[in-house]
Amino acid sequence: MGAAFGVAAAIGICGYNLRGRLAAHGPWWRHALATLALVLAAPFLLRVQPWLVAAAALGLLYWGLWRVLRLTRHMRQAFDEHAHARAEARRAKADSERDALTGVLNRGAWRARLERLAEDTQQDGRPLSVLFFDIDLFKLINDSLGHQVGDDCLKAVANTVAAELRGGDILGRLGGEEFAVALPGARRIHAIAVGERVRMAVQKHCQVVGEEVVELTVSVGAAEYLGPEESFDALMDRADRAMYTAKGSGRNMVVADAATPPGAH
């Protein structure tokens, strides 16, 4: 009797947790009601036919075990479906943040990460800098060698630059042949050093892309975040103008905006 009653309780718990999913699997409460009826009738039946009580309890026990196993299977399926749905949601979010061609962050996702980095570095009292860089003469490559080669060049540059960055640096593609890097913990002078490393890596490793000799170079602009009083649009604009100064000064070089935060060393 005790075992049958325990199984009935287990069924009740499973049924409650799966109350929204059990319509197609039969009314679980029938076993619970049958067990309750047996418990109430047992004191009277034991006086006249004890074997009937034992047989009914044994039958309820096996019936209950079968239903517990079935309900457990449905619970596991429900949990698996929930975990799968969460994983799909995370994957969809990650895909929506990535540039389809290069695999780096797209403009919107990179901007959002930059804003979060600014909050974190402000709380920790650390500096923050950004790099903007652009593939030199990219339109000429597209027009002369075709868009497929152009796409391969974008992927080659993204992979080359990613290999030169630290774990916390954030690389994104802003659009076209223009990319950006957020450098948490980096002051202006450190951003210049990273920009030079990026520039030299592209010049060294992107001379040949696929079967085409392209001799890629990049022009890099650097700017250090001035703090909460500066908007992110202003920061990005300073880095962008520095990049175009580099392009206008002969390309394949790093130019840094002169502004630094008050008290920066």
- Which active-site residues does the annotation give? 177
Q: Would you mind telling me the total number of residues written for the chain in this entry?
A: 265
Tell me the chain's radius of gyration from C-alpha atoms.
33
What are the φ/ψ torsions at residue 21 (nearest 5 degrees)? -125, 5
CB 149 within 8 A of CB 141: yes
Q: Compute the half-sphere exposure of residue 162: CA atoms within 13 Å on the CB side of its CA.
A: 13
Q: 147-164 vs 188-205: helix axis angle to the nearest 10?
A: 130
CB 161 within 8 A of CB 202: yes
For residues 171 and 162, give the distance between their C-alpha atoms in angstroms, rounded to a whole number: 7
